[in-house]
Amino acid sequence: MTEIYILEIDMNSIVGLSEVLTKYISNESRNRILSYMIPQKSYQTLITEILIRYIIMKKNIQQNNEIRICRNEYGKPYLETEKNFHFNCSHSENWIVCAVSTGAVGIDIEAIKYIDLNVGKRFFSESEYAYINNAPPNLKLNYFYDLWTLKEAYIKKIGKGLNMRLKDFSICFDKNKIYVESAKYPENCYFYKYDIIKNFKMSLCTSIYQTKCPIIFIRQEHLINDFIDLINTKEHNLSSLTEL
C-alpha cells in the first residue's frame, strides 16, 4: 500500500512558528536547517520532517520522541526499526510531497521551467532523448519533466542518488504503461506520473503494484495543529499511566 501526502508551505505563517517546531525534530535536522543560507530551503527541511513525523505518529508506528530517522550511505532517510514502513520526500519551491509505502519507494516533484532541452543529453539515455526530440513541439518540455521526475523517482526508490549513472537505465512508455529498462539495476518497479499541481510534475516509483495511490492534501495549519495535538495527547496518556 502506497500513499502520497502533499503540502504547500505557507511562508507567511511558518516564519513565526519555526522556532517552536524545531524543538520537535532531530538535532541533525536542526543543524542542517541552521546551516542553510536560503530561508526557503530551511522551511522545506523543517516542514518535511514535521510531515513525516506526523504521519508516523498518526499511523501509531512510533511516538515523536521515539522516532530515529537514519540515512543510508547515499543519504536516503529511513526508519531503522520499521522494516515495513518506507518513505521518501521531495520538495520544489513551496511544495512538499511525501510518499509512504509498505515497500521501497521514491518520489520526485519539479517545477516546470523553461530549460534548454539540449541539457537532456547529459543525463537522458539515447532512447529517452529521442522520445523528447520526437515529441510535438508544444509537448517537449512536458515530456522532458515527465522523464526527469520519473528518473529521479527511480533513483530515489533504489536509494543510491547520483551514485547511479543516469544513462545506465531508460524510462520507457508503452501505451499507458511506464517501465524501466536497465541491465544494471533489475528492480521490481511500478511508475506513476501526476499533473495535479499546476506548473509542476510529480512522479512516483514503488515496488508494490496498486491501480491508484491515494493522494492526501494537507494544509500546513492543520498539519502543525494536529502534530502538536498528537504529541500532547500521547504525553498526557503516558503521564496518566504513570499516575496509576
Ligand X SMILES: CC(C)(COP(=O)(O)OP(=O)(O)OC[C@H]1O[C@@H](n2cnc3c(N)ncnc32)[C@H](O)[C@@H]1OP(=O)(O)O)[C@@H](O)C(=O)NCCC(=O)NCCS
Residues that bind ligand X (CB under 6 A): 45, 48, 74-77, 88-91, 106, 108, 123, 148, 151-152, 155-156, 159-162, 166
Q: Cβ of residue 238: shortest distance to ligand X, in angstroms?
A: 29
**Three-state secondary-structure class, residue 171:** strand
CB closer to ligand X out of 36 and 234: 36
Q: For 90, list phi and psi in degrees, rounded to 5.
A: -150, 150
- List beta partners, residue 105: 206
Q: How far is the CB of 217 from ligand X (least distance, A)?
A: 18
Query: Please, is 187 exposed, middle or buried when counting C-beta atoms within 10 Å of its C-beta (0-12, 13-18, 19+)?
Result: middle
CA 48 and chain centroid, separation: 9
- Which one, 35 or 225, has the nearer CB to ligand X? 35
Q: How far is the CB of 148 from ligand X (least distance, A)?
A: 4
For 2, counting Cβ atoms within 10 Å of its Cβ (0-12 exposed, 13-18 middle, 19+ buried), the class is buried
**Nearer Cβ to ligand X (123/185):** 123
Q: Which is nearer to ligand X, 32 or 234 (CB)?
A: 32
